[in-house]
Amino acid sequence: MTAYGQLSVARRMLPLLSLLICVVLWHVASSQRMNLGLVTFQNVPQPLEVVHAAWDLFQSPKLQNHLGASLGRVASGFLVAAALGVGLGLAIGRFRWVRETLMPPLEVARPIPAVAWIPLSILMFPSSEGSMIFITFVGALFPILLNTIHGVHGVDPRLIASARSLGTRRWAIFARVILPAAAPSVLTGLSIGMGTCWFCLVTAEMISGQYGIGYYTWESYTVQNYANIIVGMLLIGLLGMGSSALLHRAGQALMPWYRPGGRP
């Protein structure tokens, strides 16, 4: 009993310990100005400098604006991508003619990196806010779309046959069977999409200069304030991790029947 209790405490400490070790390694490498030949830490800011930079940012009234602007963009881009990605994914996964019509242009668009969309998005959207949301949308769309399609393909045809034999009408099949059956896969797509959304934030906020964590990071680069860059990077990492965890929680609450890695 005690051994088990100790083990679980150790387990809980492990993630913190691992983060701590990373910071210590970073501190040692940067303060010793280590040069490993292939990679050098000579110009890398030290953790303490980053802490000071972060403290300055947290004191600044601009922090709220930065956070608000970025959260708004990510949320808008993600929500549009989720609605479109899941909707299109259901139709593409279910109907061959939709698949044959829509997949070729989507397959061409998929490998284009978000940064390459910047000029076009500036040309296409009258407001820079619109173009920034578009960039985060592009980042989130494909993981959501592809995972939804994958989920629909994985639906057991006998499940659909059973539902039809129980009196489900043709269109009700989507809401009653396909969407819930594909839900675990859709959630995976949403979770990856949330990550790529944050991933594209710096790219998106390169477009316009006033507020946003991505903008803050990019601006710090242009003025060569390296500690601030790392603050921006860490903020994006933490926000991305937090929103993914939130999504995971929501998924578990919505799908109490689903336990990844096997049936209960």
Chain residues that interact with another protein, rule: CB under 8 A: 94-96, 153, 155-169, 172, 177, 180-181, 183, 255-259, 263-264
Beta bridge partners of 35: 40
The closest alpha carbon to 94, from 162, 167, 174, belongs to 174
Rounded least distance, CB 156 to another protein, Å: 7
Specify whether the backbone of 117 is left (phi greater than 0), alpha (psi in -120 to 50) or beta: alpha
Distance of closest approach, residue 148 Cβ to another protein, in angstroms: 15
166 sits in which H/E element: none
Residue 13 CB contacts under 8 Å (≥ 6 apart), including other chains: none
Q: Which residue, 15 or 261, is less far from another protein as judged by CB?
A: 261
What own/partner pairs with CB < 8 Å and gap ≥ 24 does 155-158 have?
Answer: 155/181, 155/182, 156/181
Closest separation in Å from C-beta 190 to another protein: 17
Q: How far is the CB of 177 from another protein (least distance, A)?
A: 7
Q: Are 29 and 44 in contact (CB under 8 A)?
A: yes
Least Cβ distance, residue 168 to another protein (angstroms): 6
Nearer to another protein among residue 122 and residue 173 (C-beta):
173
